[in-house]
Structure 1
């Protein structure tokens, strides 16, 4: 992964030279020269890694480069931090330090030149590495091919549990269906049972009898070697000194007259499938091809409806485990409880269940042994994390750090994709791409990891994007192991050893003890405190952090609670991401805005009232979150450091006071996408609604009234909300006039939420209001409405309705029945009349996939 680390350093240096050249003043030429050398090394390393994959020789070369990269990064970051901290010096301090600065710059320049010379020496060794890699690759191909025949051709029928429907469907496709050749895709994560399922079908007696010719090819082993693929396809065709093309033609001719079944196991690249028709003829004899893959894009290339194997339920997991252990015999009653627990801990992954079954079979079937295994399932499965190695090796270099980053999250926990992507950007994993925001590139990366079945999709957003995701326990264990080996990330959990010298640290427990015991560190760039017990961090602990970890880029204290926020926080001059919460702080230090590299600033501090936040000093700011009413000062009239004061990077601003929505402020936020406004909306409603229209890219808007202020009586007449809005939330506004008349005309609105007394009228009328042409999600929470009217020609795109604590609502609109797109309805604590209406909608849609969930006060679980 050295190429990814090198890429991050390159991006940092390039940005410094283009945007903060004053911070490398005096060593600028040396940095430029180093950048050129790094570019050469980066291009070569990417190519070298692709050729050599995980060969020891490549790993050793990469380790040497990574060591140099870290040395260069420490040197540059320390120099930049020192220069930046002296920005506020007065004229006398500047004069006194001038001589010392010149000496330091000379020393830094000398060190940069030494590092550059070492990079040059490594680059000159490339020919030697190329020869060694080529030799190792040739011998590896033969080993891989022999292993392919030995390991990847299943000869015995294996237990398959949980995939009975897929088995029957594929069997039917094999034996029946069209005479045209068909390709059947089996998709799923590593260890899910794709090869086992294909093997069982391959050896099914009815299948064997049905086809004239069958063969099995492990594509990942033959790679791009056409001759070896042909050999695997039909070994007896490899005779004499025929050319590869002559052999291909011979096999093609033979297969054209036979009903064949070919299994292409473990396919990783879509490019490999482009010429498939040159090898496997479309002979209209009922031939079939089964393809197994972990990559969604590969499966969809050949079949739009792949068989996507999912993780097993706890019940199916126990069924598979008991089959493997007892082999048809009855499980003793005393072993059912520990056995079920063991199966559950395997996370629904069949391969993990099979491995742990082997562990249970090592000794007698006793409660003592099974309880011991139950308490250490992760340890017993540790040796089999190598099954994920090939998945990791097939990742593009730029996805590797993004994947390993998941190691810091608890297994199977729900991970916010939006939070994750902001962290990736701050860490430097996301390169700049012309015409795209960094967050858009990050979203593509996450979708790629989900498409590779390395990360699980938990919930989608209304627009089809990924809202949340998770990682399987075994994959997480692999990430932790690999990240530690690469000195990329250390995860500190209960009873774990002291962290090493990794660049990133995730602390899940005993945060205060760790901070108290650790010395200053120039290696740490990311510290995330993710404990669930909400330890309290004193100002002493915070000051220790600020002084000892000056080169931090990411500081996430969301798992602890802090008191006052010390002004020394400005020492963290390299910080790009800061997230913290305080239950006692009553002021926000102005020095916070001296951290000029900040991209994401998230503060939860309920006792801080209307803090002044000088965002104009934060030139790199992309996302700002505050739980209350932040006040923005007017932008400076003069340029800041010779630059325009426009905050072109800022995308999220939430939440700010209504009186901060002046024309002069709003006009300097050209790329704002998400805005939250909290406070006295009634007093400043004309100001707010007048200037909202100037935000041409605004997509998400939340208006929330602070309860100490008067209610927002109405949205002013004639107001045009931004037509770009796709999500609108009104909370505690206590509107007296029905907002639907103005909201319903928004041409792109997809999500509307009226929450906690957003509207205090009795009737919500969607008649003659524009029809909500694109509305997909409607959420009504804690409203006093009695009537809700929807005409038959309205809300034609509605997919989901959520109604919570609207106890006075007498009925649901009958027009909901005729909305063909409506697929979900969730009702919390409804009265009997509303339940009856909902059941009518459900009955009307009985032939459609409609989900009705009703939640009652005495139960947290919904009832269908």
Structure 2
């Protein structure tokens, strides 16, 4: 935890991927648990001992983000220096006479210069966590102009900073100001690299496949719209998180990736050939591309039935205009799905919601955001049951009339309605849902707010468990 600044809130998935990259989690012989599952167990053990703090949790108790108390963070810093585990730069102190005899470095100052970097880091550096801004590596790039000085940024400055560290296992650049105009090719020479988090513009090169030990790839910035074909050769990749929509072509021959997490996949890549080659996925984010070059009018189905381990799916149509409106019925979803988020899907029927998603026996969270429907009524029959649903979020809906009973959502814990300007009322029978803990309304109609207050008041008068009501206005 000393590698993160004080009060830093770290996502669980990121922390566990770093543990795996650092070699703190090792697969034991005969174990049926994945490295991520072992990491979650370790995290829960640390939290149960009050060493770490769970900052955010999901409804099923899963830890979403975590942190550490300030006093324990100071202890970590002292201990890390004492046992030569890591050196943390938080203030600009005089440089040591000799390079630090450690393999891990975290830079948390406002900025850092190339000269200090060169003097401080030994060639055997294995891990770099960068929260600082990197200053221009060459003083010759500062040219005086009268009373002014113009600072020129060397476009290859990341190459200059990194070229000496061939033994790197972890390169995590958190500072968004540290950005390269292209992928620094020097990184492809780091054969031992397991975790890469970087911000750059342009394409991911084919030579990325030289990183045969890479497990986690996190790219932000205006990065590639097409992933290189050679990515299918990277057998150790477990996590790909891309900010931009990226297309991946069909695999080479019968290549299989052990990916468990893929964020930023272009919908045009959602073919049976691709899905059958990444069948270990547990988390997937699909986005519609902006460019028409990746639009396939014959793509009628998003068949994910081969993803039998998939637990979380997010689909977003991020185009301002739609060449193809994918119906809810176009999704063939695996029964393993627990969390589903659909954003900006257009012209589906509320009946499709009932008939499609009720067939998912493990679905716990359903979020529908910024969408247009062909009808403004959602009427659920007695046979319509979302048996395990705990969270229902409707945002930007044109829904007017909603008829449902407590039997339709027997395990609902949280109901969230956002920007439902036309909704007349929340079904009054929702107060009878024994598990319901809260109702949240964000900029909804006055009548919907009144119906929520009436539900809460009736439950209070009956002496039932208190139901929390949150009403927010912009």
Which residue does the alignment assign to 1:556? 172
Instruction: Encode CA deviations 1:409-450: one digit per residue, 9 max, x unaligned.
Output: 233332211211111111110011311100111111111111
Partner of 1:829: 443
CA offsets 1:805-858 (integer angstroms, 9 cap, x no match): 22222221222111111102222122321221121222233341422222221x
CA contact (8 A) 2:412 2:436 kept: yes
Structure with bigger strand share is 2
1:705 matched to 2:317? The reply is yes
Q: Which residue of 1 aligns with 2:359?
A: 745
Aligned to 1:724: 336
Seen in structure 2, the aligned counterparts of structure 1 residues 787 and 804 have a Cα distance that, compared at 3 Å, is same
- The higher radius of gyration belongs to 1
What is the root-mean-square deviation in Å for CA atoms of aligned residues? 2.7
Q: Tell me the distance in 2 between the aligned counterparts of 1:683 and 1:704.
A: 15
Q: 1:616 Cα shift?
A: 0.8
Q: Distance in 2 between matches of 1:655 and 1:492?
A: 33
**Aligned mates of 1:753, 1:534 — CA distance in 2:** 40
1:82-102: CA deviations, max 9, x gaps?
A: xxxxxxxxxxxxxxxxxxxxx
Aligned pairs (5 A) from 1:76-95: none
Q: Distance in 2 between matches of 1:487 and 1:759?
A: 60
Tell me if the contact between 2:366 and 2:393 (Cα under 8 Å) persists in the aligned partners: yes
What is residue 777 of structure 1 aligned with on the other side? 391
Shift of 1:548: 1.6
Compare the two structures and name the one with the higher helix fraction: 1
* Alignment partners' CA distance in 1, 2:373 and 2:125: 50
Is contact 1:501-1:524 (8 Å) kept? no
Distance 1:502 1:758, change over 3 A: farther
Q: Which residue of 2 aligns with 1:848?
A: 465
CA deviations over 1:670-711 (Å, ceiling 9, x no partner): 311111211269965875745311111111111111314435
- 3-state SS in 1 of match to 2:328: coil
Q: Distance in 1 between matches of 2:232 and 2:79?
A: 41
Q: How far off is 1:795 after superposition? A: 0.9
Q: Structure 1 residues 502, 827: CA separation in 2 closer, same or farther (over 3 Å shift)?
A: farther
In structure 1, what is the equivalent of residue 211 of structure 2? 595
Runs of 4+ displaced beyond 4 Å = 496-499, 533-538, 680-688, 758-761
Residue 34 of structure 2 corresponds to which residue in structure 1? 437
> 1:377-408 deviations in whole A, cap 9, x for unaligned?
xxxxxxxxxxxxxxxxxxxxxxxxxxxxx122
Structure 1 residues 808 and 428, CA gap change in structure 2 (3 angstroms): same
* SS in structure 2 at match of 1:518: helix
Q: 1:802 to 1:535 in 2, by over 3 A?
A: farther
**Aligned positions of 1:268-279 closer than 5 A:** none
Please tell me whether the aligned partners of residues 745 and 769 of structure 1 are also in contact (alpha carbons under 8 angstroms): no
Shift of 1:747: 0.8
Cα distance between partner residues in 2 of 1:735 and 1:753: 16
Matches of 1:669 and 1:631 in 2, distance apart?
A: 14
| TM-score under structure 1 length normalisation | 0.48
After TM superposition, give the deviation of residue 730 of structure 1 in Å. Answer: 0.5
In structure 1, what is the Cα distance between the partners aligned to 2:390 and 2:228?
Answer: 37
Aligned pair partner of 1:419 in 1, 10, 14? 14
Q: List runs of 5+ in structure 2 lacking aligned partners.
A: 137-152
* Distance change (3 Å), C-alpha of 1:841 and 1:811: same
In structure 2, the CA distance between the partners of 1:710 and 1:766, relative to structure 1 (3 Å rule), is farther
Change in Cα spacing, 1:667 to 1:612, as seen in structure 2 (3 Å) is same
Q: CA deviation at 1:602?
A: 1.1
Displacement of 1:586:
3.0
Residues 444-472 of structure 1 deviation map (CA, whole Å, 9 limit, x = unaligned): 11111111111122222222121122211
Residue 504 of structure 1 aligns with which residue? Answer: 104
The answer to whether the 8 Å contact 2:251/2:274 transfers is: yes
